[in-house]
Amino acid sequence: MRAITTSLLTPVMREPARGRVLDAGCGTGNNLKHLASGGRPVGVDLSEEALRFCRSRGVTVARGSLLALPFASGSFDLVTSFDVIYHRWVTDDRAAVGELVRVLRPGGHLFVRVPALKMLWGAHDEAVHSRHRYTRAELVRLFESCGLEVVRATYCNSLLFPVLALRRALDRLLSRHGSDVEELPAPMERTFRALLELEAWWVRRFSFPVGGSVVALGRKTDIESPHETKGGRNANEGSR
């Protein structure tokens, strides 16, 4: 999945003006090390345990919520958020995306990945406290409602979609509980990895019509975001 993300972000990361990068909901910080090729990465997360992992990796992090980021407006050239805004802790995804847009400079880019399609809802979603699985159209509308120009939107984790759909159907049939994230037999791991790497190559050229995840890349226009006041500060900042 990281290879797929790299394929989609490469045109943006190559921009000469690329500077500060924020990973919102950075978890244990591994993505920050990979984002370093595109600028100076900073992570933000609510979990103190996750932030301890980040610090052990030597990456720069701060504690904060997606609904009230501890950064000034227009601070970043690129903002990423991987599998975060779908979570139950994010009670208002539009407000969260609006806050991510607030900290972007005009012309900066936002990249978001979320789980896709309600038909794939299963025990894993309950285990990881999912709130929603998105369609491509929903994510596009979410971006546009926050003043972003959508540069690219596609489903991904698509070549493995039949396997995932079968797994979720069996989970429902067998009333299975718990996350489906686990170590697989080595031959299966190699096969799945090869398929995702092939998908990473294909996604540079065309978008997929279905998949287990959906991603969108948006550009902040020069027009003031609807989530910002005339002074350039987000309305949420008053409660900090």
Give SS3 for 154: strand
Phi-psi region for residue 83, left (φ > 0), alpha (ψ -120 to 50) or beta? Answer: left
> What residue has token string 């809802």?
121
Q: How confident is the model at residue 179 (pLDDT cuts 50, 70, 90)?
A: confident
Structure pTM?
0.88
Q: Mean pLDDT across the stretch 90-95?
A: 94
CB atoms within 10 A of CB 90: 19
Q: The tokens of 22 are what?
A: 């924020």
Q: How confident is the model at residue 183 (pLDDT cuts 50, 70, 90)?
A: confident
- End-to-end CA distance of the chain: give it in Å, rounded: 35
Domain ranges of the chain: 2-221
Q: How confident is the model at residue 182 (pLDDT cuts 50, 70, 90)?
A: confident
- pLDDT score at 16: 53
DSSP 3-state percent helix, strand, coil across the chain (nearest 5): 40, 25, 35
Q: The tokens of 115 are what?
A: 């789980």
Q: How confident is the model at residue 18 (pLDDT cuts 50, 70, 90)?
A: low
- CB burial class (10 A; 0-12, 13-18, 19+) of residue 51? buried
Q: What is the rounded distance in angstroms from the CA atom of residue 187 to the CA atom of residue 155?
A: 26
Domain 2-221 has CATH 3.40.50.150: yes
